Amino acid sequence: AQSVTQLDSQVPVFEEAPVELRCNYSSSVSVYLFWYVQYPNQGLQLLLKYLSGSTLVKGINGFEAEFNKSQTSFHLRKPSVHISDTAEYFCAVSVDAGGTSYGKLTFGQGTILTVHP
């Protein structure tokens, strides 16, 4: 079974500072990796995803993430954050199980990013 660990429950930063939200996963099979963002009182929105190929993935709103297979990590980064980036961020994995598997999406615990002026 796969699992996801987000290493920081809360990350406070000042506006225009860089940020990294950490995500580690464990799985015995190949995985697909996702970052979702949840703005206050809203549903989840896909930020970016890694399926295969280049290990550096670019997403919406200037975010990017790097897949590191040897460290089983998929950290999310942004070089300069804005107040509007304040939200909760979720890392998630689904396994490449083939066949008719429904592809369970397993979420991490979430990281609350708070951007201060």
Partner 1 sequence: NAGVTQTPKFRVLKTGQSMTLLCAQDMNHEYMYWYRQDPGMGLRLIHYSVGEGTTAKGEVPDGYNVSRLKKQNFLLGLESAAPSQTSVYFCASSPETLARPNTEAFFGQGTRLTVV
Residue numbers of the site for partner 1 (CB under 8 A)?
4, 6, 9, 32, 34, 36, 41-46, 49, 51-52, 90, 94-98, 100-105, 107-110
Our CB check for partner 1 shows the closer of 98 and 117 to be 98
Q: Across the strands, what pairs with 115? A: 13
The Cβ of residue 64 has, within 10 Å, a number of other Cβ atoms equal to 16
Minimum gap (Å) between residue 67 Cβ and partner 1:
14
The span from the CA of 65 to the CA of 76, in Å, is 4
Contact 106, 93 (CB under 8 A): yes
Spatial neighbors of 12 by CB under 8 A, at least 6 apart, are 114, 116
Our CB check for partner 1 shows the closer of 1 and 117 to be 1
Minimum gap (Å) between residue 81 Cβ and partner 1:
22
Our CB check for partner 1 shows the closer of 36 and 74 to be 36
Our CB check for partner 1 shows the closer of 14 and 39 to be 39
Minimum gap (Å) between residue 25 Cβ and partner 1:
13
In the chain, what are the helix, strand and coil shares in percent, each to the nearest 5?
A: 5, 55, 40
